[in-house]
Amino acid sequence: MPRKPNSSCCICKKQIYRRPSQISGNVFCSSECCGKFQRLNEKLCPVCGKSFIGHKKTCSRSCSNKSRTGIKYDGTNSNNKSTKNKRLRFALAAKRSGKCEECGNENYNILQVHHIIERCNGGTDEESNLQLLCPNCHYTKHLGYSKYEEGQADR
């Protein structure tokens, strides 16, 4: 027993039945009409000029690689956390002798930038809010001192 039509195709306007959960958005009577709808949203590839369907900027990976040639990756991307932290650490080390500000550890390679007022609590990257700490001192600041006492394992 055929059902009564409750919607119409977006392309050919043919009356069709769809389940209520299928009605939201665009409704098509066939894969042909769906293909026609997709071809309405075709874009031209800026590299090779071919038309393509999709949400990417180029039609293929090879065109994407060609469009990236000449881009210099110099580590100055300010949105990248890694390069931002490296710059902050270098600037702090240059002004504050490159040592841990708590224990005086001189190994620059392990030093970390600590925010006195954490950024999630409204802290900023200003020098007055930053400290240069070794990992031990950094974790002690965040987690507190250990409750371990010597000789406790024997009990």
| Nearest in space to 26 (alpha carbons), one of 39, 41, 11 | 11
Inform me whether the pLDDT recorded for 83 exceeds 90: no
Confidence of residue 148 (pLDDT cuts 50, 70, 90): low
Q: What is the pLDDT of residue 76?
A: 64
| Closest-CA residue to 113 (of 86, 136, 140, 95) | 86
CB atoms within 10 A of CB 27: 17
Q: Distances in Å between the alpha carbon of 55 and those of 48, 133, 136?
A: 17, 45, 46
Element (H, E) at 43: strand 43-44
Element (H, E) at 16: strand 15-16
CB 48 within 8 A of CB 59: yes
The string of pLDDT tens digits covering residues 9-51 is 988 999 999 888 888 888 989 989 888 887 777 889 999 999 8
Q: Assign 131 a pLDDT band (cuts: 50, 70, 90).
A: very high
The model carries a pTM of 0.47
Q: What ranges do the domains of the chain cover? A: 7-64, 81-143
The CATH fold assigned to 81-143 is DNA Binding (I), subunit A (1.10.30)
